[in-house]
Structure 1
Amino acid sequence: MKTSLALLGGAVALLLSGPALAEEAAGDWGGILGGQLHVIVHIKKDGAAYSGTLESPDQGAVVIPIDTVTTTPDHLAFSIAAIHGSYDGKWDDAQKTWTGTWTQGQAMPLALKRLDPAAKPPPIARPQEQAISAGPNPYTASDVSFDSRAAGVKLAGTFSVPNGKGPFPAVVLIAGSGPHTRDEDVFNHKIFVVLADALNRAGIAVLRYDKRGIGQSSGDYKAATTTDFTTDATAAVEWLKSRPEVNKNRIGLIGHSEGGLIAPAVAVADPSVAFVVLMAGPGLPGDTLLLMQQAAIARASGEPEAAIATGQAMNKQAFDMIKASSSLEDAQGKAKTLAASLVANGQMTQAQADAAVAQLTSPWFYEFLRSDPRPTLRKVKVPVLAINGALDLQVPPKADLEEIRQALKDNGDVTVTELPGLNHLFQTAKTGAPSEYGQIEETVSPVALKVITDWVSAHAK
């Protein structure tokens, strides 16, 4: 699970209020989320209707459409179902800002100030990526495309092959939750660029691709579920089998975060898959994992224990309701009823309620909340490497790795490793809090890269 603009969850935010006068919402607005992540919101007005987009310069060039914008002279609210996020703020005339709360797995204050068109946040060095870009590199990389035929989707990606005589063993890189391109951009880190480079240098060919509906891939990202992304990963394996540069008997999967939920499902369905690497892959049921994630991140952000307990109770109530629903439509009806009661007793605004209902009952969230990776893991018979960073707050390492270990106990070739000092992105970190991600220059720890490449090299022979 990715954090920042791709963080999972459905916590309810309390509106931060200030002196409210009046302001036109149309225009470009910027703020810093969690003291670290630059956020830019573009609001357009067409007659009486508003629309918008959201982007983060720290997370690459992806621009995310806003689904709904609600505004009055002193109130701005918007929601984005694709990333399960919403914003609710009031106009503070003294500060000349929209002062409010961004809700996406946890509630974080976010003040949006009208942007100077010439203003840009200062760049932060990314030395690993800069070295790869500078080259020379002992491999060739090509833009490719392939069909996910079952869905009628065409996926675009990058296929990188070591120099020399093949055929080579190969891997498919499967990204975590969120609207990721083939680079798996997070806080302006291109995780899959660095990982692919390390694998290529170890003699492994790599296919990485834009998620459906993202980048150059076709399809509808907002309507997609983990099952749909599993179909796409299966299509990626099929495409690799068609390549003369690839040893068809030595194709493996590397899944990061939600990608670690997808990779075992592909391996169980396709016996040609030779090995699987789980980078912070889920071993816990979706609702359990989300509750643990929300509490850990809230605690690292300094929230009082009483507030954390309240948030946990509200989220568990909502999650249990969704899990008990007989269908997505049933879940939507129940969520609306629950939200209406929270609005009536003053615990939420109507804009927050609308955003929460959209978030909790999106196709992806509905499926993920009900997911349990353990039955599928028990069926995986190929070699597995499962790693987590010891400072991971999004996928708690000890509980998660123990579930994976138990699920794979009948598999004869399993390595389960907790890597000291690393966070969810496998960076060398201090606390593991998502607020650190963008400020760390390292994209992926050399320790993690060596663990992965050594294990893959040994199992790709």
Structure 2
Amino acid sequence: MRLSHHIPGCLGLLAALFLCPPASGWTPPPQSGATPAPSPTVNEYWVGRIDLPERTLSEIPLVITLIPPLSPTGTWSVLLDIPPGPALPGASATLMADVRMIDDTIEFVSPDEARNAFRFTRAGSEARGTVTVGGVQQLPLTLRRVPEAEARQSMLDRPQTPRPPFPYTQEPVTVSSGARVAPAEELTPLGATLVLPNPPFTTPYPAVLLIGEDGAERNQSAGFHQPFAVLADALARAGFASLRYDDRGSGLSGGDTAETTIEARTTDAASLLSLLRADPRIDPSRIFILGLGEGAVIAAQLARITTPQLTGLILLSGRATTGATSIIERDRARLNAEGESPAYIQQRLERRTAVLNAANAGDEPALRAAIAEEIRFDTEARRGEGGGLQDWQRDAFINQSVQMYQSPRFRSFLPHDPIPALKSITLPTLALVASRDLTNPPATNLEPLKSALAAGNPAAEVHLLGGLNHRLQPCLTGFDDEVTDLTITIDPRALTHILTFARRHAAHP
């Protein structure tokens, strides 16, 4: 669902730009027709505003960064930052498209379907222009040039987010997956980004296939963090190619997340792996797969069935329990972290278990009754705080929940046990577990993971990293609501483990 459908006026038109992840399914295309500027060597930082004819929001503050090319014949890059506020979710390091510079006039467009067009002319330290929204409405744009330190005060602090110029090449890729998923029963296009190192590294490159969370876009964006973009950047600087992709129903990939099973996701990943192996710039004897969260489950499944054998497997914050058990243990960890009493936690989890058991059995009447009981218990436990649901709201919630639990996605996830795949793996494996992971908590995943991996490979590396959340970020609580407040996208310890492991097993200097 597009959020812009629910935001009135020109603010809704702008939402398509300001709500999109920085590089969600988009790789900068070759920029033609641009006039090279006369070889500046420093970035230009421009802060200002877009004026809006709205009563609730009169202007949108923004920062535009102009980045000079690496060579006199190259083209400029432009980044857009929007500081988040009560009425705007913000944007961080969004790379603009179709950059043109003619004397002191700069033009570029947003990298999304809306293609919002920016145009302004510099006059000393000031600039004026327009933003054309949706090809129809022109809004005034006012800017002034400032030092970098002042500009960064209006940007989200994301020091690891890659910013151009990049010392590597990015290529947009589309792969047709062999997995046919009802009701379409046809090949599904998957949008991806292939990253290739620049000299001094030479072909054929070792490569890493990055497999993300269920239903996530290729950068795994959350809270203005882009962990897979950070990983791809670090790998390229170390001489490794990488391929990351949008899961079904996200970014530029087709399909429907709710209709996608674990088996279909594994087939999708296999299609991307085949593309890597067929590329003459990639060394097929030095390919790794890396999975984050549910992507780690898919990575283990893929490693189990892939021939010839892969070079290595990297599992980040994966689960080692069935899907249903993982939901219960996730809820237990979060309720404990919130300070709930043992008695309340036990009663809450008993009701959640009844819901999952009914869903797993495919018993819709029992499922509806279990969800209704969960709602009743939750309303009573709140002791009047916030009020309860009206009958129509309760019925709508039950219907939506039943639809979710009965989807192919959930019917595949709930009974799935990753242990057989983990036990079968004999190739070099690195697993990183986060001490504050409230999605796959170490209390119920660390020891089963160690035991399962040791069955096929006693030399498998498993590391528990203290103070990190599910996404391997240094954190205070591990809850999702603090992610936007965090500065680091991936803890340097995790990056060091990943790069050291990959270099060692790829025999790469």
TM, length-normalised to structure 2: 0.64
Moved more, 192-201 or 313-322: 313-322
Match of 1:146 among 167, 175, 179: 175
Corresponding position of 2:192 = 157
Residue 55 of structure 1 and its aligned partner are, at CA, apart by: 10
Match of 2:158 in 1: 127
Q: Please tell me whether residue 444 in structure 1 is matched to residue 490 in structure 2.
A: yes
Spell out, residue by residue over 1:143-192, the C-alpha distance to the aligned partner (whole angstroms, 9 max, x if none). 11112123311111100011131111111100013x31111112221110
One-letter amino acid matched to 2:430:
L
Q: How many angstroms apart in 2 are the aligned matches of 1:134 and 1:141?
A: 11
Q: Is the 8 A contact 2:179 2:264 kept in 1?
A: no
Distance apart, 1:423 and its partner CA: 1.0
5 Å-filtered alignment, 1:24-39, equals none
Q: What SS is found at the alignment partner of 2:253?
A: coil
Residue aligning to 1:25: none
Distance 1:293 1:156 in 2: 31
Whole-angstrom CA distance in 2 between matches of 1:41 and 1:255: 32
SS at match of 1:429: coil
Secondary structure of 1:203's partner?
Answer: coil
User: Given that residues 226 and 262 in structure 1 are in contact (C-alpha distance below 8 angstroms), is that contact kept between their aligned partners in structure 2?
Assistant: yes
Cα 1:44/1:168, change in 2 over 3 Å: closer
Partner of 2:367: 335
For the structure 1 residues 359 and 406, does the alpha-carbon distance in structure 2 shift closer, same or farther, using more than 3 Å as the test? same
| Structure 2 counterpart SS, 1:171 | strand
2:335 matched residue in structure 1? 298
State the 1:308 CA deviation: 2.8
Change (3 A) 1:337 1:422: closer
Separation (CA, whole Å) in 2 of partners of 1:264 and 1:226: 12
1:316 positional shift: 0.7
1:60 aligns with 2:21: yes
Aligned residue type for 1:442: I
- Residue segments in structure 2 that go unaligned for 5+ positions in a row: 9-14, 25-54, 60-86, 92-154, 181-186, 381-388
1:316-395 pair list within 5 angstroms: 316-323=353-360, 325=361, 330-339=362-371, 349-395=394-440
Question: Are 1:171 and 2:203 an aligned pair?
Answer: no
Asked if 2 retains the 8 angstrom alpha-carbon contact of 1:171 and 1:207, the reply is yes
Q: Which amino acid in structure 1 is aligned with residue 420 of structure 2?
A: P
Determine the structure 2 residue equivalent to 1:414. 460
Amino acid at match of 1:460: A
Indicate how the Cα distance of structure 1 residues 351 and 306 shifts in structure 2: closer, same or farther if over 3 A, else same.
farther
1:62 and 1:460 map into 2 onto residues whose CA distance is 29
Rate the CA distance shift 1:62–1:242 in 2: closer, same or farther, 3 A.
closer
User: Which secondary structure state, in structure 2, belongs to the residue aligned with residue 186 of structure 1?
Assistant: coil
The amino acid that maps onto 1:206 is: S
1:310-339 per-residue CA deviation (whole Å, 9 max, x = no partner) reads: 32111111112233x2xxxx3445423544
Q: Which letter maps to 2:416?
A: S
Counterpart-to-counterpart distance in 2, 1:332 and 1:406: 36
CA distance in 1, matches of 2:159, 2:256: 33
Give 1:212's aligned residue.
248
Root-mean-square deviation (Å)? 3.0
Residue identity opposite 1:421 in structure 2:
G
Task: Give the AA of the match of 2:450.
Answer: R
1:383–1:412 CA contact under 8 A, matched in 2: no
Q: In the TM superposition, what whole-angstrom CA distance separates every residue of 1:87-119 from its partner, at most 9, and x where no partner exists?
A: xxxxxxxxxxxxxxxxxxxxxxxxxxx975863
Is the 1:126–1:189 contact (alpha carbons within 8 Å) kept by the matching residues of 2?
no
Distance 1:302 1:41 in 2: 38
How far apart are the structure 2 equivalents of 1:390 and 1:167? 37
What SS class does the counterpart of residue 150 from structure 1 fall into? coil
1:269 to 2:315 alignment: no
Deviation at 1:122, TM superposition (A): 5.6
Please state whether the residue corresponding to 1:255 is helix, strand or coil: strand
Q: 1:56 to 1:284 in 2, by over 3 A?
A: farther
TM norm structure 1: 0.71
Which residue is equivalent to 1:12? Answer: none
Instruction: Tell me the residue number matched to 2:261.
Output: 225
Unaligned runs of at least 5 residues, structure 1: 6-27, 29-39, 46-53, 64-113
1:197 aligns with 2:233: yes
1:111-137 Cα shifts (integer Å, max 9, x gaps): xxx97586324666243354x2133x3
One-letter identity of the residue aligned with 1:423: N
Q: Is the 8 A contact 1:59 1:186 kept in 2?
A: no
The 1:115–1:357 alpha-carbon spacing in structure 2 relative to 1, beyond 3 Å, is farther
Matches within 5 A, 1:272-287: 272=308, 273-287=310-324
Matching residue's letter, 1:153: T
Q: Which residue number corresponds to residue 151 of structure 2? A: none
CA contact (8 A) 1:155 1:209 kept: yes
Q: Which amino acid aligns with 1:159?
A: L
Q: Distance in 2 between matches of 1:192 and 1:248?
A: 22
Determine the structure 2 residue equivalent to 1:184: 220
- For the Cα contact (< 8 Å) 1:386–1:401, is it kept in 2? no
Deviation at 1:340, TM superposition (A): 5.8
Give the match for residue 349 of structure 2: 312
Match of 2:273 in 1: 237
Distance in 2 between residues matched to 1:391 and 1:366, nearest whole Å: 28
Contact 1:129 1:193 in 2 (8 A): no
Note if contact 2:352-2:374 (Cα within 8 Å) is conserved in structure 1.
no
Distance 1:359 1:223, change over 3 A: same
Residues 220-244 of structure 1, C-alpha deviations (whole Å, 9 max, x = no match): 2221122211110011110101101
CA distance in 1, matches of 2:433, 2:421: 19
Q: Which entry has the higher C-alpha Rg, 1 or 2? A: 2
Q: Is residue 257 from structure 1 mapped to residue 293 from structure 2 by the alignment?
A: yes
Residue identity in the other structure for 2:331: Q
* Residues 373 and 248 of structure 1, relative CA distance in 2, 3 Å threshold: same
* Distance change (3 Å), C-alpha of 1:221 and 1:117: farther
Letter in 2 for 1:134: P
Residue 126 of structure 1 contacts residue 443 of structure 1 at CA under 8 Å; is this kept in 2?
Answer: no
Give distance in 2, aligned partners of 1:263 and 1:331.
Answer: 31
Give the aligned partner of residue 87 of structure 1.
none
Query: Aligned residue for 2:448?
Result: 403
Amino acid paired to 1:160? V
Contact 1:59 1:187 in 2 (8 A): no
Percentage of identical aligned residues? 30
